[in-house]
């Protein structure tokens, strides 16, 4: 067993931290109140290799493993605690990996070099108005074969990056039914382009956090797609979705660790110098003990997250684990990390007193942003609990399959 970082990992962390602290951290408020990530930041991320770095070099990525991708996620979370930019990063890094792994060479060539260059957006669309947790029960979107491809109909909702894709182009990896009788074995992924698409109508919703990346929906009406837009095998989409969620949950864990560390550091700096009743706040155990608790929680979340990242790398490099085992580890990280980050932000807000309730401090951006992770993004918390209970108690006692 070895808990250290390699030289390469340390160098990558230093490089991302330097870039993110200089170019991104001072602009968190601008990202949040402007409700977008400024193009020069996207350009800088592309130059740093921070857009879908998990994609292979052939398509403009860095062929980066999940541990390295998680290190970058942590540093981006540390820099941008509203968590909008980290979401853009993690969606493209995790789902870009899946697209690279399963799509045809021509589809990859069409999409991935533009995504890694910051000239297109890659999103994921599984959730529908009828629900996101129960994909098998709630999915109404479908694709039917035609003489020269597929015809898609249906609506996806609560999808990240609608505005971004409309601005830049790209696609949303969209999960639809291709065999309604086959249950979870009847789903297929398609690359659905939203921009300038006459068969697609989009909507936007107003979120109360992570304002720098949009959320919305799209409706597909008799949308014709060539077979080249199919991602992977017909009727294997559900399995690819589970794989993508696992990766995204690991990266969410990492962004939470980084953001929580920023909040805790901000709080520690404050309680060292703020005095009450003649002494620094930090000298009161009512303050320092919760600080110690949060410090330990961050470390627990970090260990869960990087263990899951390491397992994912072992799975892909040498079949060292089954996907189900990595999914369990990722669910544990996703169950703990967003709650840990929320509690850290909330605790630090207490220490700051009235100032913690103002927008002078970025703590409120973190509280708003991190709740998107625990409410639903990349899977609701009870779904994490069900994945974990499935392992502990048995699939027959849960709503999930074995
Ligand atoms: C900001 C944001 C961005 C998002 N971006 C995307 C995106 O890019 N692409 C995408 O496809 N989706 C996206 N989502 C949607 C997300 O995947 C869903 O919110 C999530 O899967 C939950 O689905 P739901 O919201 O329909 O809630 P539901 O599935 O209706 O669940 C509602 C509540 O019931 C609980 N629940 C459900 N089933 C059970 C059960 N069996 N036992 C106990 N409790 C249960 C859930 O935990 C949840 O608390 C995003 C969500 C948010 C908040």
Task: Find the mean pLDDT for residues 143-171.
Answer: 98
The per-residue pLDDT for 77 is 98
Whether ligand 1 lies within 6 angstroms of the CB of 45 is answered as: no
Q: How far is the CA of 137 from the centre of ligand 1 (A)?
A: 13
Q: How far is the CA of 122 from the centre of ligand 1 (A)?
A: 20
Name the token pair of 364: 């409120």
Task: Find the mean pLDDT for residues 182-199.
Answer: 97
Q: How far is the CA of 400 from the centre of ligand 1 (A)?
A: 15
Q: Give the ligand 1 atom nearest the CA of 128.
A: 26
* Tens-place pLDDT, residues 128-154: 999 999 999 999 999 999 999 999 999
List the beta strands (DSSP E) in 181-268: 187-192, 200-205, 215-225, 230-231
Whether ligand 1 lies within 6 angstroms of the CB of 9 is answered as: no
Task: Find the mean pLDDT for residues 275-301.
Answer: 98
How far from 65 is each of 170, 314, 331, 368, CA to CA, in Å? 23, 10, 19, 30
**136-145 LR contacts (CB < 8 Å, sep 24+):** 136/183, 136/184, 136/238, 139/175, 139/176, 139/177, 139/187, 140/177, 141/174, 141/175, 141/176, 141/177, 141/220, 142/176, 142/177, 142/178, 142/180, 143/176, 143/177, 143/178, 143/188, 143/190, 143/225, 144/178
Distance CA 305, CA 299 (A): 10
Whether ligand 1 lies within 6 angstroms of the CB of 137 is answered as: no
Distance CA 375, CA 57 (A): 35
pLDDT at residue 103 above 80? yes
The per-residue pLDDT for 1 is 86
Per CATH, the architecture of 122-231 is what?
Beta Barrel (2.40)
How far from 64 is each of 9, 42, 54, 94, 122, CA to CA, in Å? 11, 19, 4, 11, 17
- Protein residue with its CA nearest to atom 4 in ligand 1: 377
Task: Find the mean pLDDT for residues 312-328.
Answer: 97
Q: How far is the CA of 158 from the centre of ligand 1 (A)?
A: 9
Whether ligand 1 lies within 6 angstroms of the CB of 205 is answered as: no
Distance CA 317, CA 352 (A): 46
* Tens-place pLDDT, residues 322-342: 999 999 999 999 999 999 999
Domains of the chain, by residue range, sit at 7-121, 122-231, 237-397
pLDDT at residue 402 above 70? no
The per-residue pLDDT for 185 is 97
Q: How far is the CA of 94 from the centre of ligand 1 (A)?
A: 18
Whether ligand 1 lies within 6 angstroms of the CB of 216 is answered as: no
> In the CATH hierarchy, which fold is given to the domain comprising 237-397?
Butyryl-CoA Dehydrogenase, subunit A; domain 3 (1.20.140)
Whether ligand 1 lies within 6 angstroms of the CB of 215 is answered as: yes
Whether ligand 1 lies within 6 angstroms of the CB of 246 is answered as: no
- Among residues 2, 115, 16, 106, the alpha carbon closest in space to that of 70 is found at 16
The per-residue pLDDT for 399 is 82
Q: How far is the CA of 126 from the centre of ligand 1 (A)?
A: 10
Whether ligand 1 lies within 6 angstroms of the CB of 160 is answered as: yes
Whether ligand 1 lies within 6 angstroms of the CB of 58 is answered as: no
- Protein residue with its CA nearest to atom 44 in ligand 1: 382
The per-residue pLDDT for 44 is 98
Q: How far is the CA of 128 from the centre of ligand 1 (A)?
A: 10
- Protein residue with its CA nearest to atom 45 in ligand 1: 382
pLDDT at residue 80 above 90? yes
- Protein residue with its CA nearest to atom 19 in ligand 1: 376
> In the CATH hierarchy, which fold is given to the domain comprising 7-121?
Butyryl-Coa Dehydrogenase, subunit A; domain 1 (1.10.540)
Task: Find the mean pLDDT for residues 58-85.
Answer: 98
* Tens-place pLDDT, residues 353-395: 999 999 989 999 999 999 999 998 899 999 999 999 999 999 9
- Protein residue with its CA nearest to atom 2 in ligand 1: 377
Residue 100's φ and ψ, nearest 5 degrees, are: -65, -35
**In a 3-state reduction of DSSP, which class is residue 295?**
helix
The answer to whether 254 touches 68, Cβ cutoff 8 Å, is no
pLDDT at residue 401 above 80? no
């Amino acid at each position: 067993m070895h808990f250290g970082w390699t030289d390469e990992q340390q160098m990558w962390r230093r490089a991302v931290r330097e870039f993110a602290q200089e170019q991104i951290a001072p602009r968190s408020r601008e990202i949040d109140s402007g409700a977008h990530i400024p193009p020069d930041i996207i350009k800088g991320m592309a130059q740093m290799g921070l857009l879908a770095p998990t994609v292979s070099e052939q398509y403009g990525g860095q062929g980066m493993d999940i541990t390295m991708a998680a290190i970058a996620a942590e540093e981006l979370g540390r820099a941008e605690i509203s968590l909008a930019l980290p979401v853009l990063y993690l969606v493209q890094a995790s789902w870009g990996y899946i697209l690279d792994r399963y799509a045809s060479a021509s589809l990859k060539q069409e999409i991935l070099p533009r995504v890694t260059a910051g000239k297109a957006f890659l999103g994921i669309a599984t959730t529908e108005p009828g629900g996101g947790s129960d994909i098998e029960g709630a999915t109404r979107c479908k694709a039917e074969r035609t003489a020269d491809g597929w015809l898609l109909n249906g609506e996806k909702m609560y999808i990240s990056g609608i505005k971004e894709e409309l601005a830049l182009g790209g696609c949303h990896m969209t999960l639809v039914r291709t065999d309604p009788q086959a249950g979870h074995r009847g789903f297929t992924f398609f690359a659905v382009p939203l921009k300038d698409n006459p068969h697609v109508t989009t909507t936007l919703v107003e979120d109360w956090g992570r304002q720098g990346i949009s959320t919305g929906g799209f409706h597909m009406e008799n949308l014709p797609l060539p077979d080249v837009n199919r991602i992977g095998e017909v009727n294997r989409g559900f399995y690819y979705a589970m794989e993508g969620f696992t990766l995204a949950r690991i990266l969410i864990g990492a962004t939470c660790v980084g953001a929580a560390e920023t909040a805790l550091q901000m709080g520690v700096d404050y309680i060292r110098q703020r005095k009450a009743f003649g002494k620094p706040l930090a000298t009161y155990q009512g303050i320092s003990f919760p600080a110690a608790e949060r410090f330990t929680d961050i470390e627990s979340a970090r260990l869960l997250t990087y263990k899951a990242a390491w397992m994912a790398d072992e799975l892909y490099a040498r079949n060292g684990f089954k996907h189900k085992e990595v999914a369990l580890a990722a669910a544990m990280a996703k169950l703990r990390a967003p709650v840990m980050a929320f509690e850290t932000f909330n605790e630090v807000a207490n220490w700051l007193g009235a100032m913690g309730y103002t927008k002078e401090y970025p703590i409120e951006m973190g509280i708003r942003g991190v709740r998107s992770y625990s409410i639903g993004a990349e899977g609701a918390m009870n779904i994490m609990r069900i994945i974990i209970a499935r392992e502990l108690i048995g699939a027959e006692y849960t709503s999930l399959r074995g």
